[in-house]
Structure 1
């Protein structure tokens, strides 16, 4: 076993995103859904193993227990360094879970300090003067301020993280990062000697993240988004080409979407504009006892098998607010996840072999419903959005798990069409 990095990701699409980053860095990467058991085996000669949890929005103590358990299993598999992957929009609440989980991983790993950076320039996320930007907007001015579970109304990372941990938080500014690896290492040492345990770093480019990754190579625990993970992965000596896998060459294609992010709504609109079949799920009717899943499957059975289909619970902010007002935030999310998980299982039984899933919680529901525990990470359709490959009881499945805010507007149509072309 050549395992170098063990990663704990706080949701399933986050796990896919960071696994793609390690793969871009040239590391052979496996992705495991949920805490691996004592008998879980990784593919041979794995450089990185990512454990994807559903810990982003659960109570902090529950997130801590799951994350530390995953950390211990990764150690048992041979990982020397632990990477805690969270969203590039620092998606969290005042109570956590980024601070509490990082504190627990550091305590268990004997780390005196850690480096944080959620920058992901490929996805338009940068950090400057400790403030997180989404493209040209502050996080607090972006559509993420309306996130249905964790609305982000502040962009100051030191302030956000300080609210989640009792330990001091410091900043390494961009001019220091631009001076190179030694300057960052010196700043890490100085901040740690001054009592800081959490050290946030600015980053505007992939070159900045490569500097931070090299500077963090000896830290027992590092925390951030996929961009810093790639920088860290590139700091390790190359061992050979990353693994790949063929796309299954038969079967229908479908999209299941639960995310209500602005980008996912744009992708849904583009799919519809292409004249492709789509159906919206009535979550309120499902909560009232109507067989919405059965109706959707009847609709699916009537569609042209040559065309990809889209089934979604995604809704505009106004529509979502109305559903949440009726059911409550947690119950609305649970209803949507149950519907989409049920549909995923039935669609794969009906012959779907290319499945694109939009939304972190939705991805968790789908992989759980399909009984998928591990996948091989393949090529990306867009930055942070790779195809993965799994075995199900019904056969091979090409599976794309997309974070709500990721992917170009035409991702749904382009990714499925491109996959189809590879099959011919």
Structure 2
């Protein structure tokens, strides 16, 4: 979202030890969504400390556009810890991303035409979301009062938003869920919040920040910010997400007659050499065409595997296998990877020893191509619920 609005943006994997890369914006990627709340807070504060030392002017705690979390966190605890560290008493919470069908109206999160609680997120294997009322969800995770910045205020623009935020702050509200139903709402929120020390949101609000920064003279957006070098070599798709969207994308690939290999979690648990088998299978095919290696399963299959193995062990087995496969594919000459699933993406970049990603052009809303800094390696890291049904083929076509 920052790059498409003209900011040169780099993502670092984990908190770096050295200086900040040359960029307008730096994203510190943490695996904190599903870790214990205390660990998520500690990691987020470490990232904040590094970013402050690097000279960052504003901080943005980004979470998923489906706000998926648990009553224990981690959105509320991390937001409040960052607020305390920055000595600020107010910020917004807005996961809206209208281009991907995520809208917030009267404090309720919609996925398309359905409430979040009626969407596929209801059966998420790690963070099932069965309440669409974000004020209630966030209040359960937060110590301070949570309020609502309603759509009728947001629609009036930045000045009205400023006034309402001041009123909420005066009432003791520390976190305010902000309604947003289209990109104009996101831009208005970005302008109104550009001077706050901290914003918490999905990626959507970032769409309006570059213009707000430029208006303040902080930087000049660059239309070529998304440019990445061409990279040759083989291509592969790795899919560990079991979301509704990714299931449809895998099915589309299979129905198109493209080569695919399924990773069976129960076979992994039984000690079968699934990763070696997948790599042997891929070795015979990747020179001719991109391949898909997937552990994606329908919800009922996921439940059966979790019942047999336990949720945590099932996830770890699949992540470890896909990480091993990614490393092996790299040795086989794969230089363009499409990866489906947040947890899977984290495992893959770690296996490929990627520490810094330069962000490139958008494939579908919320999903760009990226380049491993200083290496001939391109990665498209896709949230499970994002992307069109033909996303895998579309992504690879862009970098042929």
* Cα distance in 1 between the residues matched to 2:72 and 2:9: 32
State yes or no: 1:340 paired with 2:348: no
Residue 393 of structure 2 aligns to a residue whose secondary structure is helix
Please say if residues 167 and 198 of structure 1, whose CA atoms lie closer than 8 Å, have aligned partners that are also in contact: yes
**1:8 counterpart residue number:** none
- Quote the residue 1:130 is aligned against: 107
How far is the alpha carbon of 1:304 from its aligned partner? 5.3
Which residue number corresponds to residue 154 of structure 1? 131
What is the aligned counterpart of 1:413 among 389, 393, 400? 393
Mapped to 2, the partners of 1:232 and 1:417 lie a distance apart of: 30
Contact between 1:27 and 1:48, CA under 8 Å: does it hold in 2? Answer: yes
Task: Give structure 2 stretches of 5+ with no counterpart.
Answer: none
Cα distance in structure 2, aligned partners of 1:27 and 1:418:
21
Distance apart, 1:245 and its partner CA: 3.9
Q: Partner of 1:239 in structure 2?
A: 220
Out of 145, 150, 153, the residue aligned to residue 176 of structure 1 is: 153
Q: In the aligned structure 2, how far is the partner of 1:274 from the partner of 1:31?
A: 33
Residues 333 and 134 of structure 1, relative CA distance in 2, 3 Å threshold:
same
Q: Structure 1: give runs of 5+ residues left out of the alignment.
A: 1-20
TM-score (norm 2): 0.97
Deviations 1:86-132 (A, max 9, x none): 00000100110000000000000111111111100111100001000
How far does residue 391 in structure 1 lie from its aligned partner after superposition? 5.0
Q: Matched residue of 1:145: which SS?
A: helix
- Aligned counterparts, 1:272-291, within 5 A: 272-291=254-273
Q: Does 1:404 align with 2:384?
A: yes
TM-score, normalised to structure 1's length? 0.91
The residue that corresponds to 2:21 in the other structure is: 42
Q: In structure 2, what is the Cα distance between the partners aligned to 1:289 and 1:64?
A: 36
CA contact (8 A) 2:234 2:286 kept: no
Single out whichever of 411-420 and 188-197 deviates more from structure 2. 411-420
- Secondary structure of 1:319 counterpart: helix
Residue 232 of structure 1 deviates from its aligned partner by 2.6
- Which stretch shows the higher mean deviation, 305-314 or 50-59? 305-314
Which whole-Å CA distance do the structure 1 matches of 2:130 and 2:359 have between them? 34
Matched, 1:108 2:85: yes
State the alpha-carbon separation in 1 of the partners of residues 228 and 172 from structure 2: 50
Q: Does 1:371 align with 2:353?
A: yes
Cα 1:168–1:246 change in 2 (3 A) is: closer
User: Structure 1 CA distance, aligned partners of 2:19 and 2:70?
Assistant: 33
Structure 1 consecutive aligned stretches of length 4 or more whose deviation exceeds 3 Å: 244-249
User: Aligned ranges for residues 304-315 of structure 1 at < 5 Å?
Assistant: 305-315=287-297
The question of whether the paired residues in 1 share the 8 Å contact of 2:107 and 2:133 is answered with yes
Asked if the contact 1:247/1:398 (under 8 Å) is kept, the reply is no
Structure 1 counterpart of 2:119: 142
Question: Which residue does the alignment assign to 2:196?
Answer: 219
How many angstroms does 1:413 deviate by? Answer: 1.1
Q: Residue 212 of structure 1 contacts residue 232 of structure 1 at CA under 8 Å; is this kept in 2?
A: no
Contact 1:158/1:170 (<8 A) preserved: yes
Q: Equivalent residue of 1:24, what SS?
A: coil
